[in-house]
Structure 1
Amino acid sequence: MRLSDVTAIFLACLTVSGCASGPPPENVRAGQPSQETTSSVVPPSNLVPSGNVGEAAAAASAPQEELAWAGQVPQSQAFAPAARTVGAPIPSERPIAMLAPAKPEMRAAPQTRSQIYSYGFRDAKPINFGSISPRKLAVHGVDISRWQGEIDWERLRTQGANFAYIKATDGGDHLDPMFRKNWRRAKEAGLKRGAYHFFYWCRTAGEQADWFIRNVPKEAGALPPVIDVEWNGESSCKRRPSRERVLEKMQVFMDKLERHYGQRPIIYTAPDFYRDNLKGAFPDYPFWLRSVAAHPSKVYPKRKWVFWQYSGSGLSHGVDGRIDLNVFHGDENDWHDWVASR
């Protein structure tokens, strides 16, 4: 055989070998939209919570909208058993700084300290809290939903809203129609913000967790998610499960959220629901307590808390009508440390 023939055959073999060595294309399975259709909370006739202790904060349903940003919950998240995380011990002198679970594997947000704006709100129904007034605490914020309508977030922040909790979902099929816009605009205005879910006692906890996960982005720098648990007479669900069942459902929901977002959820509640179900429960979870006529220490004895909702009748530039006012349990340094630990 001639040398030129040998060379040609050798080059042809190299070409065939190179073409066959590349990896096959990766298959990607498209997500499927949710088929959930249950009803949820009926809008209350009075959209503003009253100022009486023991009356649960008002919540309302929103018509379901097409979720352009929501994909299918992966099977591994939707059905795998939740991995329980043991909370860190809470020192008595600093209850708010030690409630961070193990950090998730996500891109870290820049560790910059945001400006703290001092209290500038008014109140349509002011309460004299005496020497333990919430005004003596440094970091105030708000919680909002569709009922506040269009918000001027820049003006609201300069009035003293250093953080905002934004209504995202309730039940297993309702998304607040203002959530996406409020979520985006609050961040643009420089507020620290988190999302909350109104728990619906006629729907399974797992379905509700999956619905929240579908609709609330997993973002570095976001505040921990919140589960809002209360008795609501305006809800289409009249069921009041036993304390044992309530705690079981809450645990399922919170485990799924903690596994997904890498942060232990905060429990928001009102005095009557707390008395019936939560007294002495979940000692390793952070609490957000509604108490609009007295300090939380009087309404929730011995319960450590991170946030205190002290008014349902706040007034502020940037918002038409009344708004819920809240305060963080600590000074400015405590706040920055707590946010950084998220």
Structure 2
Amino acid sequence: MRHFTKLVLGLMLIVAVACARTPPRGPAGGGGGGVYVGGTVPELGDRKPHAWRNGHPYNHQVHGIDISRWQGSIDWGRVRAAGVSFAFIKATEGGDHSDPSFQRYWREAAAARMPRGAYHYYYFCRSGAEQAQWFIRNVPREIGSLPPVLDLEWTNSRNCPGRPGPAEIKREANVFLDIVGRHYGQRPIIYTTVDFYRDNRLGDMRAEFWLRSVADHPRMTYPGQNWAFWQYSGTGTVPGIQGDVDLNAFAGTSSDWARWLSTRLTR
């Protein structure tokens, strides 16, 4: 517990330092020919910025990324210096595939003192229990890690083309959440997309949500749904990463983020 307390205090110090050097918020619509995001993290950008009208991600104080093997080599020091506050890293999918870059990213992000967590891409041809055990086999249980994430969306796999009904999906997903939650001591976050959320009526599931919404604010695309993270772009640009990267915003302020970390990190 003493080690965990020191870790949390260290992360809170990182948050405080980042806030102290945060520049004034930029224009609500971004700018700079689609390069300058503005807001509280001006070094982040977007190749195809959206004209936000019902709520602006760039005015959120805490931003992060989610990545997989396709991001290639990453300069984590530059990523952190650019104002990125967290990273979710793809670890596994289904019951027999692991991302070949996961272990490297996991170590490198930790060395850069980047709060990071792992996510699992769910397949409907394996049980929730099988997939939970596969995730546990591949993702270390490390003090100070962000909560695990269960990625629920419709897949386009030739090997798993079926689409179970909402009751089956939620039953098996809850099995995954229970097993993984017990192992890591934190109930996983659910990542999902607009169509999957609507098709399967996920709002009654017991979990924090990370919502994909790249064309409007989540309050418009997921009416009434509380959320912790918002994936607002798949065409983001981040110093230290070549090519496009997904950008995400945390729901609260920097102070809220520090409090969230103090309760949701693996102990």
Fold in common (TM above 0.5): yes
Residue 160 of structure 1 corresponds to: 83
CA distance in 1, matches of 2:168, 2:132: 17
Equivalent in the alignment of 2:222: 300
Pick from 88, 112, 115 the counterpart of residue 14 of structure 2. Answer: 115
String of CA shifts for 1:86-136, please: whole Å, max 9, x gaps: xxxxxxxxxxxxxxxxxxx89625231142444121101101213621111
Corresponding letter in the other structure for 1:230: E
Alignment of 1:3-22 (within 5 A): none
Alignment of 1:100-179 (within 5 A): 108-110=4-6, 111-112=8-9, 113-116=12-15, 117=18, 118-119=40-41, 120-130=43-53, 132-179=55-102
Equivalent runs, 1:211-230 vs 2, <5 Å: 211-230=134-153
Partners in 2 of 1:268 and 1:177 — Cα distance? 21
Q: Secondary structure at the match of 2:172?
A: helix
Question: Is the 1:309–1:325 contact (alpha carbons within 8 Å) kept by the matching residues of 2?
Answer: yes
Matched residue SS, 1:130? coil
Match of 2:131 among 194, 208, 230: 208
Question: Contact 2:54/2:216 (CA < 8 Å) preserved in 1?
Answer: no
Query: 1:160: how far off?
Result: 2.1
Contiguous gaps of at least 5 residues in structure 1 = 1-104
1:249 has 2:172 as partner: yes
Greater helix content: 2
Q: Does 1:194 align with 2:117?
A: yes
Instruction: State how far apart, in whole Å, the 1-side matches of 2:3 and 2:185 are.
Output: 12
Does the 8 Å CA contact 1:114/1:190 hold for their aligned counterparts? Answer: no
Deviations 1:16-42 (A, max 9, x none): xxxxxxxxxxxxxxxxxxxxxxxxxxx
What letter corresponds to residue 52 of structure 2 in structure 1?
A: F
Measure, in 1, the Cα distance between the counterparts of 2:255 and 2:60: 12
Cα-Cα RMSD: 1.5
Of residues 207, 218, 230, the one that matches 1:285 is 207
What is the CA-CA distance between 1:189 and the residue it aligns to?
A: 1.0
For the 8 Å contact 1:106–1:220, the answer to whether it is kept is: no
**CA distance in structure 1 between the partners assigned to 2:193 and 2:54 by the alignment:** 23
Counterpart AA for 1:273? F
Give the Cα separation in 2 of the matches to 1:136 and 1:306: 15
* Structure 2 SS opposite 1:308: strand
Q: Deviation of residue 233 (structure 1)?
A: 2.1
Three-state SS of the structure 1 residue aligned to 2:73 is coil
CA drift at 1:290: 0.1
Counterpart residue number, 1:99 = none
Letter in 1 for 2:218: P
Q: Distance in 1 between matches of 2:112 and 2:254?
A: 19
8 Å contact kept, 1:229–1:273: yes
- Conserved in 2, the CA contact under 8 Å of 1:140 and 1:161? yes
Are 1:183 and 2:82 matched, yes or no? no
The answer on 1:237 being equivalent to 2:160 is: yes
Partner in structure 1 of residue 249 of structure 2: 327
TM-score by length of 2: 0.85
Q: For 1:340, what is the secondary structure of its paired residue? A: helix
Give the match's secondary structure for 2:203. Answer: coil
Q: Report the Cα offset of residue 187 of structure 1.
A: 1.1
Following superposition, the deviation at residue 221 of structure 1 comes to 0.9
Distance 1:230 1:341, change over 3 A: same
The 8 Å contact of residues 61 and 253 in structure 2, kept in 1 or not, is answered as yes
Distance 1:310 1:196 in 2: 18
- 1:192–1:146 distance in 2 versus 1, CA, 3 Å: same
Counterpart-to-counterpart distance in 2, 1:333 and 1:180? 30
Paired amino acid for 2:14: Q
After TM superposition, what 4+ stretches of structure 1 lie above 4 angstroms from structure 2? none
TM-score relative to the length of structure 1: 0.67
Does 1:341 find its partner at 2:263? yes
- Which of 271, 283, 299 is the aligned partner of 2:194? 271
State which drifts further: 229-238 or 294-303.
Answer: 229-238
Q: Are the equivalent residues in 2 in contact too, given 1:171–1:208 (CA < 8 A)?
A: yes
Please tell me whether Structure 1 or Structure 2 has the larger radius of gyration of its CA atoms: 1
Structure 1 residue 280 displacement after superposition: 3.0
Query: Secondary structure of 2:198's match?
Result: helix
Aligned-pair CA distance for 1:236: 2.8
Counterpart AA for 1:328? F
